[in-house]
Amino acid sequence: MSVQVWTYILVGISFALYIGIAIWSRAASTKEFYVAGGGVSPTANGMATAADWMSAASFISMAGIISFSGYDGSVYLMGWTGGYVLLALLLAPYLRKFGKFTVPDFIGERYYSKTARIVAVLCALIVSFTYVAGQMRGVGVVFSRFLEVNVNTGVIIGMVIVLFYAVLGGMKGITYTQVAQYCVLIFAFMVPAIFISIQMTGNPIPQLGMGSTINDGSGMYLLDKLNGLSTELGFAEYTDGSKKMIDVFAITLALMVGTAGLPHVIVRFFTVKRVKDARKSAGLALLFIAILYTTAPAVAVFARTNLINTVSNQEYANMPSWFKNWETTGLLKFNDKNNDGKIQYVADAASNELTVDRDIMVLANPEIADLPAWVIALVAAGGLAAALSTAAGLLLVISSSVSHDLIKNVFKPEISEKGELWAARISATVAVVIAGYFGINPPGFVAAVVALAFGLAAASFFPAIVLGIFYKKMNKEGAVTGMIVGISLMLFYMLKFKFGIFDGGKEAVAGLAKDWWFGISPEGFGTIAMIVNFIVALVVMRFTQTPPEKVQDIVEHIRIPSGAGEATHH
């Protein structure tokens, strides 16, 4: 059977499964819609968290970035994994004990003000839309190649499917769908990685295969071979980094603290029964995530080596069918500058004839390595599972921010439960349409867009949440001012250096890198904006009144472990 037939079969089965689960577990109450009724088991929640967390950026884009930027791509691995640990240990159990559904809910209650809640909702919407745009783009990339439709059509198909099960099932439907999606995506990522690892190095464990010698009897290590291939073509050595140390530090930290402030991951800890379960599911999720994250660098090395070996200086007329298939999507372009019919793939832009979109590396990898058709189709199903699971989680954050935090708690407190459920569903629908628009007109490749979402979360939420939990004297004036200043600064920097809004548009962006403040890229600037947020919040707090006693008591209370009795004052 052909790849396309296999794709229809595997994607069809997985979609039928997701939609079946959504119908079976559709939400009847707002509690089920927002937090799945609070009765999910730690293992199921761990898998769902892992699926929610590993978006199209992890599945499709991360290995793609690493395969093009080599050592520099490791900031994404370190930042995202470290951030997850930070979230699980430092914030999740306390937020769970505070007992609020959403991040704006926590901020609104902890800072005893409607203004704080509204600012938090706006920040949550900005972060979630930036993030979901990257997911929709990922869905479009997968559909365009494997259903052989235009990328934009792919985005629209994705919109319809996400809308169906997010709006019907709410958090309850999404949780069990994400358990299924985790199984699909991890299987889809590991099977080709193991196949290619055996094919190239004879070692079935990709993590070890990456550091092993090649199968061709030369006794050469795979990474040495890749360094050689890269330098021959004028690229930097694969295992060398070109980023400045301060930028590496800033990006890693922005991704870490951004993770800890991501609304759609935090919500997952409210779906279990007890605080103890929240900790347990956090630990399990880390294990489930590590399986993919430790394999990604290996997949990147295999893909890059295979790509260079397959295309460099080869006759265009003799290229295998995968090359032509990806060309039709427009994500792989060959421009024969010297008309010799051969593909010149080199670092020098003037003479390079091949343009490769980074987002295709993981998806094209099994095809380049000539694996069986069902493996190639499996990867397509995995990529869709990764993108859809995160998109659904984000849509829920957007709809609950609007219906629960704005309508119910600010504008219309007397709204009925049924009315609130309708409001949540309508806002999810509007959100999907907006997300689809960004998916069709993306502001960059998937992982770069997602990295900006983390920067925004770091700049706005992280200080307000940390100070809210660990510093009882923190008041509403300080927190609100800090959030506004932090997110405004980050947005300004993004628009200036990522989109060139103030300096001659997107074309000028490459030239603006020399003007970066402190030599820090837009992806890493969340770190600076977060520090500014902390400083502003603490300074403003000094000159305004302390929070009411009642709020200070709540803050004392959430830090006492359950069952430890009351804290005694000396």
| Strands (DSSP E) found in 137-255 | none
> What angle do helix axes 245-260 and 526-542 make, rounded to 10 degrees?
60
Instruction: Give me 106's structure tokens.
Output: 């926590």
Q: Is the CB of residue 202 less than 8 Å from the CB of residue 212?
A: yes
Can you tell me the mean pLDDT for 260-280? Answer: 77
Across-strand partners of 171?
A: none
Instruction: Give me 517's structure tokens.
Output: 């403040």
Q: Taking the chain, what is the end-to-end CA distance rounded to the nearest angstrom?
A: 76
Tell whether the model's pLDDT for residue 61 goes beyond 70: yes
pLDDT tens-digit map of 202-254:
888 888 888 888 877 777 888 888 888 778 777 777 677 677 888 888 989 99
pLDDT tens-digit map of 534-558:
999 999 999 998 888 888 888 888 7
**Count of CB atoms situated within 10 Å of the CB of 553:** 10
Which residue type occupies 347?
A
Residue 457 or residue 172, greater confidence: 457
- Is residue 532 very low, low, confident or very high in pLDDT (cuts 50, 70, 90)? very high
Please tell me the total number of residues recorded for the chain in this structure. Answer: 570
DSSP string, 69-84: HGGGGHHHHHHHHHHH
**Count of CB atoms situated within 10 Å of the CB of 557:** 12
Q: Is the CB of residue 275 less than 8 Å from the CB of residue 96?
A: yes
Residue 143 or residue 374, greater confidence: 374
Q: Is the CB of residue 257 less than 8 Å from the CB of residue 458?
A: yes
Tell whether the model's pLDDT for residue 567 goes beyond 50: no
* 3-state DSSP assignment of residue 1: coil
Q: What is the pLDDT of residue 303?
A: 85
Q: Is the CB of residue 495 less than 8 Å from the CB of residue 505?
A: no
* 3-state DSSP assignment of residue 108: helix
- Is residue 437 very low, low, confident or very high in pLDDT (cuts 50, 70, 90)? confident
| Strands (DSSP E) found in 206-270 | none
Burial of 272 (0-12, 13-18, 19+ CB in 10 A): buried
Tell whether the model's pLDDT for residue 508 goes beyond 60: no
Tell whether the model's pLDDT for residue 109 goes beyond 70: yes
- Is residue 194 very low, low, confident or very high in pLDDT (cuts 50, 70, 90)? very high
Residue 172 or residue 416, greater confidence: 416
Distances (CA, A) of 213 to 183, 205, 221, 302, 428: 31, 13, 4, 13, 51
Can you tell me the mean pLDDT for 272-291? Answer: 83
Tell whether the model's pLDDT for residue 142 goes beyond 50: yes
* 3-state DSSP assignment of residue 406: helix
Q: What is the pLDDT of residue 134?
A: 76
Tell whether the model's pLDDT for residue 527 goes beyond 90: yes
- Is residue 168 very low, low, confident or very high in pLDDT (cuts 50, 70, 90)? low
Q: Alpha-carbon distance 486 to 464, whole Å?
A: 11
When the candidates are 3.40.50.2300, 1.20.1730.10, 3.60.15.10, 1.10.10.10, the CATH number that belongs to 14-444 is 1.20.1730.10
The residue with tokens 């347990």 is 280
Q: What is the pLDDT of residue 391?
A: 80
Tell whether the model's pLDDT for residue 144 goes beyond 70: yes
- Any residues with CB less than 8 A from the CB of 74 and at least 6 apart, and which? 66, 241, 297
DSSP string, 487-552: HHHHHHHHHHHTS-TTTTTGGGHHHHGGG-GGG--TTTTHHHHHHHHHHHHHHHHHTSPPPPHHHH
- Is residue 481 very low, low, confident or very high in pLDDT (cuts 50, 70, 90)? very high
Q: What is the pLDDT of residue 101?
A: 64
As a whole number, the mean pLDDT across the chain is 81
**Count of CB atoms situated within 10 Å of the CB of 481:** 18
Can you tell me the mean pLDDT for 361-366? Answer: 86
Q: What is the pLDDT of residue 506?
A: 57
Residue 167 or residue 419, greater confidence: 419
Confidence (pTM): 0.80
Residue 452 or residue 193, greater confidence: 193
Distances (CA, A) of 182 to 83, 389, 394: 20, 8, 16
Q: What is the pLDDT of residue 311?
A: 82
Q: Is the CB of residue 165 less than 8 Å from the CB of residue 176?
A: no
* 3-state DSSP assignment of residue 41: coil
- Is residue 79 very low, low, confident or very high in pLDDT (cuts 50, 70, 90)? confident
- Is residue 38 very low, low, confident or very high in pLDDT (cuts 50, 70, 90)? low
Domain segments of the chain as ranges: 14-444
Can you tell me the mean pLDDT for 175-197? Answer: 88
Q: What is the pLDDT of residue 286?
A: 86
pLDDT tens-digit map of 313-350:
788 888 888 888 888 777 788 888 888 888 888 777 77
Q: Alpha-carbon distance 227 to 231, whole Å?
A: 6
Closest by CA position to 60, among listed 159, 152, 144: 144
Q: What is the pLDDT of residue 432?
A: 84
Q: 329-333, 357-361, 499-503, 521-525 — which is least confidently predicted?
A: 499-503
Q: Is the CB of residue 361 less than 8 Å from the CB of residue 67?
A: yes
Burial of 287 (0-12, 13-18, 19+ CB in 10 A): exposed
Q: Is the CB of residue 369 less than 8 Å from the CB of residue 206?
A: no
Q: What is the pLDDT of residue 507?
A: 56
- Is residue 36 very low, low, confident or very high in pLDDT (cuts 50, 70, 90)? low
Closest by CA position to 215, among listed 198, 236, 190, 232: 198
Instruction: Give me 362's structure tokens.
Output: 């993981």
